[in-house]
Structure 1
Amino acid sequence: METTRLGDVMREIFLVQSAPEQWIIIAAGVLALLVVLARGPWRVARNVVTIVHEGGHALVALFCGRQLSGIRLHSDTSGVTVTRGRPDGVGMVLTVLAGYVAPSIVGLLGILMLAGDRITALLWISILLLLAMLLLIRNIYGVLSVVGTGLVIFGVSWFTPADVQAAFAYFFTWFLLVAGVRPVFELQAQRRSMPTPQSDADQLDRLTGVPGTAWVLLFGLINVAALGTGVWLLMF
C-alpha cells in the first residue's frame, strides 16, 4: 500500500481485487500441500494451525456464554484454552468440538472472501483477529507465535504488490484447508500410542458418552468435506 491516510487505507483494504491466474491458485495449493506433508515445514507451520485451533475454542466459548481465562500456546505446537462456566452441557460440548474443525472452517470462510475478490480485506481481518487473540495469550511463546504470524501477514498486505498479496492469500487459505485434516490423523495416532484423557476427543467422550473415536471420525469428516468444498469453489 502506498497511501497512509486512514480513509485511503480503508479504501485499499476493502477494494475489490482481481483474482490471480488459475495456475497461481493451483501452485499455491500445491505449495500448501507440500508444507503440510513435509516434516520440517509442517513443524513450523503447525503453530498457525494451533493458533486457529485455540482461537476456535475461545470464540465458540464466548458465543456460548462461557468466560475466557486465557490461552497458552506451546513450542511443541500444543495449546490450551481455559474457560470458566458450567462443566457440561451443550455450550461445553460445542467449545471442545470447535478446536479441530476451526482451521478448515476458517479456510472455507476465507475462500468465500476470495471468491468475492476481497483479498486485502481477508489479510487485514486475519490481522485483527490475531490482535484480539493476543489479548488472551498468557505465555511468552504464545505472544511470539501470534505476533510473528501477524507480522508476516501485515508485511505481505502492506509492503507487497497486489499480485503477491493474492498469491499469499490463496496459499494461506489453501494451507488452512489442507492443514485441518492432518491433525485429526495425528490425534488418533496419539490416542493409540499414548492415550491421554485431556485430548478433545476424550473430553467429548466424557461429556456425551459417545466414544472418542467417533468424535475423531466426525472431525475428519467435517474437515475433509470443507476441503472438498474449497477445492470445488476454487477450481470449478
Structure 2
Amino acid sequence: MSFVREKLSTKFFLFLVIAFLLIHVPLLGNYAKVINTLIHESGHALIALLGGNVERISLFMNSEGATYSNQSTWIGSFFTSIAGYTFASFMAFLSFLLIGKKKQTLLIDILLVFIFLNLIFWVRNPYGIFWLCSFAVAFLFLLIKGSQAVRDHLLLLIASILLVDSIQSAYEILYLSVIQPYGAGDAANLAQLTVIFPAPVWGMFFFLQSLWFCYFALKRGYYKLRS
C-alpha cells in the first residue's frame, strides 16, 4: 500500500512538472495554455450575463484572450472584471477535486460544455474557432479511442495545466500591475472602478487567491489520490 501511495504521489507531482514545462514550449505551450484562457474568459462572460450581455470572446495564438461585454451597472462591471482569474483558479481546484473523487466523466462534461458554449455563442475570431474545433476533436478522439488509462492521464494533464497556468497568469498580472499599472488588464479595470485600490492591490489579490485555490487543489486532489 505504501508503494502504491508513493507511486501516486510521484505521478501527481510529475504531471505538475510536465504541465509547467509544456506551457513553456514554443507554439505548443501557447496552444496548451488556451485551455486556461478559455476558462478565464468564460468566467468573465458568465458573470457578465447576469447583468448585461456578451458580444463576443476572442482567443489568440499567443494564449491571450478578450471578452467584450456590456454592463449597465457598476457592480456588474466590478464582478465581471474580478471573475476571470478567480474562475480560472476555481476550475483548477474543481478539476483536481473531481479527479480525486473519481468523477472524471463529470469533468469531461464540464470541459465540453465550455468548449461548445464558446463555439456556438461567443468565439468568432479565426484562431479561436480553430482552437476550439481542434481541441474538441482531439479531446473526443482520445476519450473515445483511448483506454481508461489514457483518459485519466489526459484529464490529469489538463487539470495540471489549469493549475499551473492559473498561478503563472495571476503572477504575471501582479508583476504587470506593479511595473505598468495602467496596462494591467483586469487589475487596471478594477483600479478604475474602485478608485481607492490601485492596480497592484488587485494584482496581489489575484495572485493570493490563485495560491489559495492551489492549496486546496493539492489538498483535495493529492491526498484523495493517495488514499
**One fold, TM greater than 0.5?**
yes
- 1:17 corresponds to: none
Q: Where does structure 1 differ by over 6 angstroms across 4 or more consecutive aligned residues?
A: none
- Residue 146, structure 1, aligned to residue 126, structure 2: no
Query: Which of 198-207 and 43-52 deviates more?
Result: 43-52
Q: Is the 8 A contact 1:72 1:142 kept in 2?
A: yes
Query: Which of 210-219 and 181-190 deviates more?
Result: 181-190
Unaligned 5+ residue runs, structure 1?
1-19
Please give the residue correspondences for 1:192-231 in structure 2 after superposition, counting only pairs within 5 Å: 196-197=182-183, 199-209=185-195, 210-231=197-218
User: C-alpha offsets along residues 51-88 of structure 1, whole Å, 9 cap, x if unaligned?
Assistant: 111111111112x22211111122222221111221x4
Q: Is the 8 A contact 1:120 1:165 kept in 2?
A: no
- 1:40 shift after superposition: 5.7
- 1:39 shift after superposition: 5.7
- Residue 172, structure 1, aligned to residue 176, structure 2: no
Q: Is the 8 A contact 2:174 2:203 kept in 1?
A: yes
CA RMSD of aligned residues (A): 2.2
Write 1 or 2 for the structure with the bigger share of helix: 2
Letter in 1 for 2:79: L
SS at match of 2:51: coil
TM-score by length of 2: 0.85
SS at match of 2:58: strand
Q: Distance in 2 between matches of 1:41 and 1:188?
A: 25
- 1:43 shift after superposition: 2.9
Q: Is the 8 A contact 1:53 1:100 kept in 2?
A: yes
SS at match of 1:144: helix
Q: Is the 8 A contact 1:197 1:203 kept in 2?
A: no
- 2:3 corresponds to: none
SS at match of 2:80: helix
User: C-alpha offsets along residues 167-206 of structure 1, whole Å, 9 cap, x if unaligned?
Assistant: 1111111211111011122224444555544711111001
Q: Is the 8 A contact 2:48 2:71 kept in 1?
A: no
Q: Is the 8 A contact 1:123 1:153 kept in 2?
A: no
Letter in 2 for 1:201: A
Letter in 2 for 1:153: F
Q: Is the 8 A contact 2:181 2:199 kept in 1?
A: no
Q: Distance in 2 between matches of 1:192 and 1:145?
A: 32
Q: Is the 8 A contact 1:68 1:84 kept in 2?
A: yes
- Work out which of the residue numbers 100, 104, 112 in structure 2 matches 1:119: 104
- Work out which of the residue numbers 35, 53, 64 in structure 2 matches 1:67: 53
- Residue 33, structure 1, aligned to residue 20, structure 2: yes
- Residue 97, structure 1, aligned to residue 82, structure 2: yes
- Work out which of the residue numbers 9, 24, 45 in structure 2 matches 1:58: 45
- 1:3 corresponds to: none
- 1:43 corresponds to: 30
- 1:22 shift after superposition: 4.6
- 1:131 corresponds to: 116
Q: Distance in 2 between matches of 1:96 and 1:113?
A: 27
Unaligned 5+ residue runs, structure 2?
1-6
- 2:70 corresponds to: 84
